[in-house]
Amino acid sequence: MADPRFFKVAGPFTVAEIAKRVGAEIAGAAAADLELHDVAPLETATERELSFLDNRRYLDRFRATRAGAVIVNAKLAPEAPKGATLLITPQPYRAYALAAQAFYPEPPPKPGIAPTAVIDPSATLGEGCAVEHNAVIGPGVVIGKRCAIGANTVLGASVVLGDDVRVGANATLSHSIIGSRVRIYTGVRIGQDGFGFAPDPDAPVKVPQLGRVIVGDDVEIGANTTIDRGAGPDTIIGPGTMIDNLVQIGHNVQIGRGCVLVSQVGISGSTRLGDYVMIGGQGGLTGHLTIGDGAKIGAQAGVMRDVEKGEAVLGSPAMPIREFHYLTAYIRRLATKHRGE
């Protein structure tokens, strides 16, 4: 059970209610009326709790679980212990996510403006917004409905937020237009100058950065991530894209819909990503590249050339993932043989 100091559990829900909510069929012991009071891992769940199996690695735990009900796919269902009610679905992890959302619904922002918040008179806020202590909201800012602005966060002049946006504490936004249902975590920096200057023997000449950051709906931006505004064109993050912590996105970068950027990724200026691109942790892309839809860029890859639609690359410099694995194995074999001589 989640620590009640930090999380408040809802429910109980019957198996039938959960099945409907997550789109699963009831099987196994099939106690549709059984009341479930919480979610829990297979190994600790009791008969009052709901668990799930998504990874064959945990099959033993599934066989021995005492959970009242378990979400599982049809293929692994026969391995269930006798007493367990099963919720059958082809996507157990997704179904678990929906069930956990039912037990632990995110509390909506508690509307109200903290007395210590500083809001410029020319800013406008939609109904139901929560502005926490010491937040600073600049002139001309436009905030939609039911947004939450964290403590000590700063929204610079004319920033626009859609509806249901949540900005964590100690974040900074400027020169940016943010969609709806976007989550911006603590310490994020959006809209500052890109790294643009013209070389000069005396001193670099700063190039004014005249674009914005445009963030689509349903985007998440992880803690301490930085997104620079465009130099002239805009920096664009497509809808539904998930960005982890400590990621760097340079000026003029364009990211499509539904991409996933794992932590510490860096994307240099003017590079364009299609839709549903995935980049593993610490992956780096140089500037002015084009990355096709659905490309998969491995962890720590160093991408210096365009990547085709659907291509998977790895290594630094990045190459097709099969070539990378072949090459790595080949070299090790060669060296081992040579050493043996």
Binding mask 250-269 for a second copy (x = CB under 8 A): x-------x-x-xxx-x-x-
In angstroms, the CA 170 to CA 134 distance is: 10
Q: Is 325 a catalytic residue?
A: no
In angstroms, the CA 300 to CA 162 distance is: 34
Q: Which of 170, 180, 235, 271 binds a second copy (CB under 8 A)?
A: 170
User: What does the buried/exposed string (b/e) look like for 269-278 if buried means 16 or more CB atoms within 10 Å of the residue's CB?
Assistant: bbbbbbbbbb
Regarding 180 and contact with a second copy (CB under 8 A), the answer is no
- Shortest Cβ 172–a second copy spacing (Å): 4
DSSP 148: E
- Shortest Cβ 256–a second copy spacing (Å): 13
Q: Which of 78, 121, 127, 203 binds a second copy (CB under 8 A)?
A: 203
Judged by CB under 8 A, the stretch of 67-75, 80-88, 122-130, 316-324 that binds a second copy is 316-324
Regarding 113 and contact with a second copy (CB under 8 A), the answer is no
Burial of 27 (0-12, 13-18, 19+ CB in 10 A): middle
In angstroms, the CA 9 to CA 103 distance is: 5
CB atoms within 10 A of CB 97: 12
Regarding 73 and contact with a second copy (CB under 8 A), the answer is no
208-247: contacts with a second copy (CB under 8 A): 208, 210-212, 218, 222-224, 226, 228, 232-233, 240, 242, 244-246
Question: What residue spans of 25-144 are helical by DSSP H?
Answer: 59-64, 92-103
- Shortest Cβ 33–a second copy spacing (Å): 25
In angstroms, the CA 102 to CA 15 distance is: 12
On the CB side of 12, how many CA atoms lie within 13 Å of its CA? 13
Q: Which of 65, 67, 71, 132 binds a second copy (CB under 8 A)?
A: 132
Catalytic choice (37, 175, 251, 325) = 251
8-47: contacts with a second copy (CB under 8 A): 39-41
Catalytic residues: 251
